[in-house]
Amino acid sequence: MQQREEKQLESSLESIIQRVNDLKASLASMIFKIENEYESLNWPKFLDNYALISGQLISLSKVLSHEKCTNLRNLTVLPLMLSPERDEQLIQMTEGRITTFSHDLVPDYLRTKLEPLAEKKMLQLEHKAQGLQYDNAQKQIAAYQKVVTHVWDIVSKAREEWEVEASSRGNTQQNSSVADTHLLVAAVGMGKGLKMGPNPNGQPNSTSGGMMVAPGRPGGPPGQGPIPPSSQAMSMSKAPSAIKTNIKSAAQMHPYNR
């Protein structure tokens, strides 16, 4: 029974140590980056590091709260021997941070209570609370409650105003028009309202298969738009039949055939 518990403790300690070491490594690398690469460090990188650290903290706390993990609170660390001499093994274990396991250091490192100063202050406050008269306490509670409700009122009023403003702005102030969006998209995408050819309804002129834009404007400004119908007919009659076959073969070998 005891052996099993010991094993469990060992394995959970191992996983905790591993996670703490991970955390330490990423903290160290972040500190290094801040100190040495502050010129090239950008926000995304910094936030990535931060996200890594917070992820490791979460996984550490998960390990600690896992039911298989021994409750560390129930365990005691008992220093058996203190010595003022330099301990090489300890230096190695703590990476040079603690050199001696001595009387003045141990109480700080093995401390599980609050800091002495904080502890003293807490005690004072507790004494004060105990010494308080009942009526006085009631009065103070009432005053405090009054202040809190007042602040609460201010906040909720501001929120109400803000919401009303937001909703009214959403309703009245029209920044864009759906009709215009559709008009523009149809114009750019399908040429609605931009076509000036013989077919005003925008339907492609399917009968005029191989009709061409009049040649003879090589590279020049093509800003004239489609040519008037009369000259289109002319160019159609002029167009040699070879072009038609060209189109066909081009269409056949084209990879975007549908």
Partner 1 sequence: MAALGTAIDSLTAAMKCNIIPNQEYLLQGSVLDQYVEVLLHRLRGLCDNVDSGPETFNDHELCYSLRANNVNTPMALPLRVRRALDVSDAPFQLRYVGQQELGDKNRPTVVRSCIDMACSSTIIEFLSELGCRLDFEYIARGYMFRKGRMKVTVSKIFKMNGIANKPGEGVEAISQSYLVELSVQAPSGQDAIAEDMRVFAEQLRPLVQLEKIDYKRLGNMM
Rounded CA separation 199/189 (Å): 18
Q: Which two tokens stand for residue 206?
A: 């399917």
Residue from the set 154, 213, 233, 234 that interacts with partner 1 by CB under 8 A:
213
Among 96, 215, 241, 253, binds partner 1 (CB under 8 A): 215
Identity at 120, one-letter amino acid code? K
| CB closer to partner 1, 19 vs 195 | 195
Phi-psi region of 230 (alpha: psi -120 to 50; beta: other; left: phi over 0): alpha
Q: Dig out the tokens for 96 from the structure.
A: 């040079």
Give min distance, CB of 233 to partner 1, in A.
14
Question: Is 164 among the residues that bind partner 1 (CB under 8 A)?
Answer: no
Does 159 interact with partner 1 (rule: CB under 8 A)? no
Among 79, 116, 193, 229, binds partner 1 (CB under 8 A): 193
Q: For the chain, give percent helix, strand, coil, nearest 5.
A: 65, 0, 35
- Please give the structure tokens belonging to residue 22: 């991970």
What are the tokens at 17? 């140590």
Q: Which of 2, 74, 92, 176 binds partner 1 (CB under 8 A)?
A: 176
CB closer to partner 1, 32 vs 162: 162
| ∠ CA 64-70-76, rounded to 5° | 105
By CB under 8 A, name the one of 75, 125, 155, 183 that touches partner 1.
Answer: 183
Residues in region 137-156 near partner 1 by CB under 8 A: none
Of 116, 191, 198, 229, which lies in the binding site for partner 1, with binding defined by CB under 8 A? 191
Alpha carbons 94 and 105: distance in angstroms, whole number: 14
The yes or no reply on residue 182 touching partner 1 (CB under 8 A) is yes
Answer yes or no whether residue 223 interacts with partner 1 by CB under 8 A.
yes
Residues 6 or more apart whose CB falls under 8 angstroms from that of 84 comprise: 100, 102, 103
**Contact between 247 and partner 1 per CB under 8 A:** yes
For residue 192, count other CB atoms closer than 10 A to its CB: 14
Q: Are 8 and 68 in contact (CB under 8 A)?
A: yes
Contact in structure between 244 and 210 (CB atoms under 8 Å): yes
Query: How far apart (Å, rounded) are the C-alpha atoms in residues 227 and 235?
Result: 10
Q: Least distance in Å: CB of 227 to partner 1?
A: 9
Map the footprint of partner 1 across residues 99-138, applying CB under 8 A. none
Looking at the Cβ atoms of 96 and 219, the one nearer to partner 1 is 219
199 sits near partner 1 (criterion: CB under 8 A): no
Q: At its nearest, how many Å lie between partner 1 and the CB of residue 47? A: 15
Residues making contact with partner 1 (CB under 8 A):
169-170, 174-178, 180-196, 204, 206, 208-213, 215, 217-219, 221-226, 228, 243-244, 246-248, 250-251, 254, 256-258
